[in-house]
C-alpha cells in the first residue's frame, strides 16, 4: 500500500497528498466528535485485507464441482448452502449462484454502482467499478470478453445479470476437463476471480498459476 504505487490512476502526487490530508481531516473530525474509534477503522481494514477474497468463492465452486448435493443446494439458495461450509466466511442474504453450461454463459455487472459479492470475491477490482465495464457489459458482453482475451462459441447464450438490488450473484463456472480425479483443494486453485464474475474461465489443469 505504498503511496507511489498508483500508476493506474490519472492522479499526480500533489492530488494524492491532497487526498491524504482531506481524508485525515475527515477522520480527525469524526473521531473528535466521538462518532467512531480510529482503532475500529484499523480493524475494519485489517478484516478486509485478511478475511475476504476470491479464495472464499473458489472453495464454494470447488465444492459444487465435487458434491452434486451441495451444487443443487447452492443453485437453490446460495446463502443457505454457503452457510453450511464452516471454513468459508459468513455470507449475507440473497446470494444467488448461477451456473455456466455449454449452452449458457453468465456474466455479472452493476451498471448503477459497484454491487459485488464481497463475502465471496473480496472487494471488486477497479475495472469492475469503472465506466468501460459498467456501460458495455449489458450491451456488448462479447466485446467485453474480447477485452479480457477470451471468447465463447457464437451460439452460446449470454446472460448478463445487472445487480440492481441487494441480491448478489456468483457465477458457477464449468469444471475444466481433465480434472475428474482432483481433490477439492486442488480444484479450488483453478477457480479464478474472473471466472466467478463471468469475464473469464477457470485455469486449465497444468496451466501456470
Partner 1 sequence: MNGVHDMGGMDGFGKIEVEPNEPMFHTRWESRVLAMMRAMGAAGAFNIDTSRSYQEALPPHVYLSISYYKRWMLGLQDMLIAKGFIGKDEVAEGHALGPAKPLKRGRFTVDDVERIMVRGKFGRNPQAPAKFKAGDRVRAKNIHPRTHTRLPRYVRGHVGVVERDHGVHVFPDSAAVDAGENPQWLYTVVFDGTELWGADSDPTLKISIDAFEPYLEKA
Catalytic residues: 110, 113-115
**Which residue's CB is nearer to partner 1, number 96 or number 205?**
96
Nearer to partner 1, 162 or 184 (CB): 162
> What residues from 104 to 163 belong to the interface with partner 1 (CB under 8 A)?
109, 111-114, 118-119, 122-123, 125-127, 129-142, 144, 147-148, 154-163
- Residue 183 Cβ, how far from partner 1 at the closest point, in Å? 27
If one asks whether residue 180 binds partner 1 (CB under 8 A), the answer comes out as no
The C-alpha atoms of residue 204 and residue 186 are separated, in whole angstroms, by 12
Among 40, 76, 84, 204, binds partner 1 (CB under 8 A): 40
CA 87 to chain centre: 18
Place of cell 473521531: 31
- At 119 the three-state DSSP class reads helix
Does position 45 interact with partner 1 (CB under 8 A)? The reply is yes
Does 101 bind partner 1 (CB under 8 A)? Our answer is no
Q: Count of residues for the chain?
A: 209
Distance between start and end Cα atoms, the chain: 24
Residue for grid cell 453450461: 101
Q: Is 51 in the site for partner 1 (CB under 8 A)?
A: yes
Interface with partner 1, residue 102, by CB under 8 A: no
Task: Tell me how far the alpha carbon of residue 175 is from its chain's centroid.
Answer: 18
CA distance 73 to 70: 5
Amino acid at each position: 500500500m505504498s503511496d507511489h504505487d498508483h500508476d493506474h490512476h490519472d492522479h499526480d502526487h500533489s492530488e494524492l497528498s491532497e487526498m491524504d490530508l482531506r481524508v485525515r481531516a475527515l477522520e480527525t473530525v469524526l473521531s473528535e466528535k466521538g462518532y467512531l474509534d480510529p482503532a475500529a477503522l484499523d480493524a475494519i481494514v485489517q478484516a478486509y485485507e485478511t478475511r475476504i477474497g476470491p479464495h472464499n468463492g473458489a472453495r464454494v465452486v470447488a465444492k459444487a464441482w465435487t458434491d452434486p448435493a451441495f451444487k443443487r443446494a447452492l443453485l437453490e439458495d446460495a446463502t443457505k448452502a454457503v452457510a453450511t461450509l464452516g471454513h468459508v466466511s459468513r455470507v449475507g442474504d440473497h446470494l444467488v449462484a448461477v451456473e455456466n453450461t455449454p449452452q449458457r454463459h453468465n456474466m455479472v455487472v452493476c451498471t448503477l454502482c459497484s454491487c459485488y459479492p464481497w463475502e465471496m470475491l473480496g472487494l471488486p477490482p477497479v475495472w469492475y467499478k469503472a465506466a468501460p465495464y459498467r456501460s458495455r457489459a449489458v450491451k456488448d458482453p462479447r466485446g467485453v470478453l474480447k477485452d479480457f482475451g477470451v471468447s465463447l462459441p457464437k451460439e452460446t447464450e449470454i446472460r448478463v445479470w445487472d445487480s440492481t438490488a441487494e441480491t448478489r450473484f456468483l457465477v458457477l463456472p464449468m469444471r475444466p476437463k481433465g480434472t475428474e480425479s482432483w481433490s477439492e483443494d486442488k480444484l479450488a486453485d483453478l477457480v479464478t476471480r474472473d471466472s466467478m464474475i463471468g469475464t473469464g474461465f477457470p485455469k486449465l489443469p497444468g496451466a501456470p498459476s
